[in-house]
Amino acid sequence: MEAGPRHVDSLLAALAVAADDLEPRRLRGYGELDPAQQETLHRLAEGLRRLFETLREAPAGASGPEAAPGRTVTPIGVIRSPWTRRGEAPRQPPGSGGEGRVELRPDLAPALADLDGFERIWLLYLLDRSTGWTLRATPPLDTRPHGLFATRSPNRPNPIGLSCVRLLGIEGAVLRVAGLDVLDGTPLLDIKPYIPGIDAWPGARAGWVDHIQGGER
């Protein structure tokens, strides 16, 4: 059962009173408590105050991601590509000629406004078919293992992928794109515009990749 506005107001009032009642100046016998007990009361009062502020600022009737932004990641669509198995997909977008679609949730279509002016976009997605992970991984470009976070292995603690693709067009909540390197049915997490002056650093060092491709810069 959802709490109505009156119930929420009553809860907020009760939290405010409880937080005030735990203030040392109002708590009978506070001076008789040992330091650890006093610290516990301080933390409890602070927690109640934070809960009060969170509930007071949350939109009426909000729940889930709206009430606790940033704590839950939910797919916002699905990526459609020509590939269904990992061995079929290209390893990186520059080597891919694959075209496909990004099917966004219909209710999010208004969020695509003005995106059609960008030639390229970033796709963030869930690598839902990755299996396990290790602290070190051997990438296709090398025969030696490297720290996982120095590679682009799809097997990661948080299996999130990132691809820069070319935007061909937008029709409603569907984006036509080129340069895909993901499997068909991959859950989409986010879309961002590619901005050359911000996202491109052509002269940046690339660690062990520089060594493989012909020496340190």
Could you list the pLDDT tens digit for every one of the 217 residues in the chain? 444 455 555 555 665 566 556 655 556 676 777 787 777 777 777 776 667 666 655 554 444 444 445 467 899 999 999 988 877 777 665 555 679 999 999 999 999 999 999 999 999 999 998 888 899 999 888 889 999 999 989 999 999 999 999 999 999 999 999 999 899 999 999 999 999 999 999 899 999 988 887 754 3
Question: Which token pair is 140?
Answer: 């296709």
Using CA atoms, how far apart are residues 45 and 39, in angstroms rounded to an integer?
A: 10
Main-chain phi, psi angles of 215, to 5 degrees = 110, 160
71: Cα separation from own chain's centroid: 9
Using CA atoms, how far apart are residues 141 and 144, in angstroms rounded to an integer?
A: 9
pLDDT for the residue 185: 95
Instruction: Give the amino acid at 38.
Output: Q
Instruction: Give the amino acid at 16.
Output: A
pLDDT for the residue 4: 47
Which residues lie below 8 Å from residue 105, measured CB to CB, with a gap of 6+? 76, 77, 173
Question: Which token pair is 54?
Answer: 């969170």
The burial of 113, by beta-carbon neighbours within 10 Å (0-12 exposed, 13-18 middle, 19 or more buried), is given as: exposed
pLDDT for the residue 26: 57
Question: Which token pair is 158?
Answer: 């948080």
77-196: CATH architecture: Beta Barrel (2.40)
Count CA within 13 A, CB hemisphere, residue 59.
Answer: 9
Bridge partners of residue 102, in order along the sequence: 79, 175
CB atoms within 10 A of CB 181: 20
pLDDT for the residue 72: 77
Using CA atoms, how far apart are residues 211 and 217, in angstroms rounded to an integer?
A: 9
Count CA within 13 A, CB hemisphere, residue 109.
Answer: 8
The burial of 79, by beta-carbon neighbours within 10 Å (0-12 exposed, 13-18 middle, 19 or more buried), is given as: buried
pLDDT for the residue 12: 55
